[in-house]
Amino acid sequence: MPKVDLVLLHAPAVYDFRERSIMFGPVSDMVPSTPVFEMYPLGFTTMAEYLERHGIRVRIVNLAVLMLTKPNFDVEAYLRGLDACMFGIDLHWLPHAHGSIEIAKLVKKVHPNRPVLFGGLSSTYFHEELVDYDCVDYVMRGDSTEEPLRILLKVLKGKGDLSQVPNLTWKDSTGAVTINPLSWVPSDMNSISLDYSFNMKSVIRYRDMKGVVPFKDWLNYPVCASLTCRGCTHDCVTCGGSAYSFREHFGRDRVAFRDPDLLVRDIAHIQRYIPGPMFVLNDFLQAGRTYTRDFVLGLEKIKLKNPIGFEFFKPPHEEFYEFLDAHLPDWSVEISVETHDDGVRAAFGKSHYSIDQVEQTVKDALRNGCSRFDLYFMSGIPTQTADSVRETAEYIRHLYAAVGNDPRLLCFLSPMAPFLDPGSRAFDNPEQHGYTLRAKTLEEHRERLVLPSWKHIMNYESDAMSPDEMVEATYDAGLAINRIKAEAGVIDQKVAAVTEKRIGEARLAMARIDDIMEGPAGDRDRSLWALKDEFERLSQSTVCQKSELNWPRSASIKHVAAAAGLIVSEGISHLTAGIRGEYSPASSSQHTKPMPQPAAVSPAAKTPEG
């Protein structure tokens, strides 16, 4: 009998990245993970916690981290040693298109009689193409698959019919495909929980530290995220998580919020065990004033000490910052404004605020106790020219001067790469937004992912600037912003010098790749392989030092004691289950009573406005 019911596997973006020479460039500069995108989605944790609470045994395995940290790690042998009723693989972000399918092929090779399930937003978009692969049996569609997954596992144990599993695309033993209705679209997020103690207990259960960490350097920088909602009220044209995308492709026409009391409980639980900073994703201001008040006052009530950062989709007013500072000791802000140019931002789908409002909100936040303000810009967005990208750097110079070179302001710019999101307005109607797609199908994206550089991998070309112009403008702006931050004293001069040298080397590497690709086809692989170590070094951080993203953290004796208590509790539970000859997951400390079950379909009630 399998040891677990479900193993959730996270693949690297490119499965055989260790055997390929690819210049990924700055595509991962703005996220904690490396260019193989080893950070698995938050849904892994919510699904695992939900299923375990319902008596289903789940294990998370981050294959990407294991492959990164163990040079001789044998993926096939490791998979052969796993045993489960079903194997689940995420294809949430499209950059995993190559690795996820290759891992599925290996699972089918070593476990031919075990079903393989895919899930995530990209899986949902490509579900019909995905289920046609021989290595894929099921695709779970939608943004909230915890309960459908529970029903599927129940069916696999002989209790029910696959045709009754909501959101499931599946094929039977003859290969015939059935698409069940996308009927499970819960109206709130109150039945799930982001319980990071599940990950900690998994380390004890399976004696596997690296296989469960969210990303490679997490133990050195234990950052955690909390999710406000599923869905969005905004409509950025390149975003696969926009209101349009959820409505047209993921069955959601109303945002599903998590009750503020439950969100506070999630954060309190994180604070108990983990000393790192926390990010609250998906702009809670979308839920309205009452939600905002209850959430912030709830954080004050639990005496929040960890640094906490909030993602906002538009510039808040000064009164809001005053409210935050009155109730929280260490808070920060993150806004992606994309560009300094109001016309370009409007073409992107953000016409609801101006760059003057951005400048004002930065000043207001810093004046009212904000610990850090991260401001993100992008290259490659609709109607944006190469000159406009470079002008963004000059605007950043102006902005630093306007705030007196306050080091709490951190500005970044990165390319919109490697892909336009499937399901976004721009992907569905590229010509309307000034793009030409280089890849449309899942298989075409898989083929692009193994091309030699981020310029070649991109699935789009903009009418406003060529790929070559975008690469040059991105490096030009990155170089300028690096110098501006050094001149302002925001980053150390030595760090800036290292970044400047690295940008110069990256440009030379891109030129060498172009020369190789123009040369004899038979020499390309050998010539690219000779540059592999250089490509890897230049892709870890490119237009900025990745450590610039990190916030301070500190551990206390309370964290040590709480972790030790969890270890003892899980160890006793695991030992007792072994003596009984059964598995009995330790109950989550977050759940002292049953969680309410959500309604199956979103109500027609209007979403509160932020």
Cis upstream peptide for 452 (omega within 30°):
no
Residue 209 confidence class, pLDDT cut points 50, 70, 90: confident
Classify residue 223 as left (phi > 0), alpha (psi -120 to 50) or beta.
Answer: beta
Distance CA 100, CA 277 (A): 30
DSSP 165: S
Provide the CB-side half-sphere exposure for 119 (13 A, CA): 25
pLDDT band at 593 (very low <50, low <70, confident <90, very high): very low
Whether the Cβ atoms of residue 417 and residue 384 lie closer than 8 Å to each other: no
Residues in the chain: 610
pLDDT score for 552: 63
Reported as a single tens digit per residue, the pLDDT across 456-502 is 999 999 999 999 999 999 999 999 999 999 999 999 999 999 999 99
- Flag whether pLDDT at 100 surpasses 90: yes
As a whole number, mean pLDDT of residues 11-29 equals 94
Q: Is 511 exposed, middle or buried (0-12, 13-18, 19+ CB in 10 A)?
A: exposed
CA dist., res. 513 & res. 409, Å (int): 36
**Residue 213: its pLDDT value, please?**
87
> Which strand (E) or helix (H) includes residue 483?
helix 467-487
So what's the pLDDT on residue 208? 80
3-state secondary structure of 356: helix
- % of the chain surpassing 70 pLDDT: 90
What pLDDT, on a 0 to 100 scale, did the predictor assign at position 579? 40
Confidence band of 562 (pLDDT split at 50, 70, 90): very low
Q: Rounded to whole angstroms, how far apart are CA atoms 432 and 228? A: 32
State what percent of residues in the chain have pLDDT above 90: 79
- Average pLDDT of the residues in 59-64: 96
Q: Looking at residue 221, what is its pLDDT?
A: 86
Q: Which are the contacts of 392, defined by CB distance < 8 A and separation ≥ 6?
A: 339, 340, 341, 377, 413, 477
Instruction: Give me 436's structure tokens.
Output: 């030409």
Region of poorest pLDDT, from 22-31, 37-46, 489-498, 526-535: 22-31
CA gap 15, 301 in Å, rounded: 46
Which residues, in sequence order, are CB contacts of 503 under 8 Å at separation 6+? 475, 478, 479, 482, 542, 543
Say whether pLDDT at 583 is over 70. Answer: no
Q: What is the mean pLDDT of residues 310-317?
A: 97
Residue 249 burial by CB count (10 A; 0-12/13-18/19+): exposed, middle or buried? Answer: buried
Q: Are 53 and 593 in contact (CB under 8 A)?
A: no
Q: Residue for token digits 């004033």?
A: 289
d(CA 140, CA 92): 11
- Find the range with the poorest average confidence among 186-190, 513-517, 551-555: 551-555
- Residues facing 377 on adjacent strands: 338, 413
β-strands 256-257, 229-230 pairing: antiparallel
Asked whether the beta carbons of 17 and 33 are under 8 A apart, the reply is no
- Phi, then psi, of 473 in degrees rounded to 5: -65, -40
Say if CB 142 and CB 185 are below 8 A apart: yes
Q: What is the pLDDT of residues 267-276, one digit of tens each?
A: 999 998 888 8
DSSP state letters, 570-603? HHHHHHHHHHHTS--PPPPTT-SSPPPPPPSS--
CA 240 to CA 244: how far, in whole Å? 8
Q: How far apart are CA 182 and CA 558, in angstroms?
A: 44
Provide φ and ψ at 312, rounded to 5°: -120, 145
Mean pLDDT of the chain: 89
Percent of residues in the chain assigned helix, strand, coil, to nearest 5:
45, 15, 40
Residue pair 361/374 in contact (Cβ under 8 Å)? The answer is no
> Which residue from 274, 182, 230, 187 is spatially nearest to 560, judged by alpha carbons?
274
For residue 253, give the DSSP letter. S
- Predicted confidence (pLDDT) at residue 277 exceeds the cutoff of 70: yes
Identify whether the C-beta of residue 542 lies closer than 8 Å to the C-beta of residue 26: yes
Tens digits of residue pLDDT in 364-411: 999 999 999 999 999 999 999 999 999 999 999 999 999 999 999 999
Encode pLDDT of 220-242 as tens digits. Answer: 888 899 999 999 999 999 999 99
pTM of the full predicted structure?
0.90
Residues 119-156: tens digit of each pLDDT:
999 999 999 999 999 999 999 999 999 999 999 999 99
Q: Is the pLDDT of residue 594 over 60?
A: no
Q: Report how far residue 494's alpha carbon sits from residue 491's, in angstroms, rounded to the nearest whole number.
A: 8
Q: What is the pLDDT of residue 437?
A: 98
Q: Distance between CA atoms of 294 and 450, rounded to whole angstroms? A: 48
**DSSP summary character for residue 302:** T
pLDDT at residue 542, as a whole number: 83
Of 251 and 585, which is predicted with more confidence?
251
Distance CA 159, CA 541 (A): 50
pLDDT by residue (tens digit) across 516-559?
A: 999 999 999 999 999 999 999 999 888 887 777 777 655 444 54
Per-residue confidence (pLDDT) for residue 219, from 0 to 100: 85
β-strand pairing of 4-10 with 84-90: parallel
The rounded distance, in Å, linking the Cα atoms of 459 and 479 is 25
Q: Which pLDDT does position 2 carry in this prediction?
A: 66
Which DSSP category does 525 fall into? H
Assess whether pLDDT exceeds 60 at residue 254.
Answer: yes
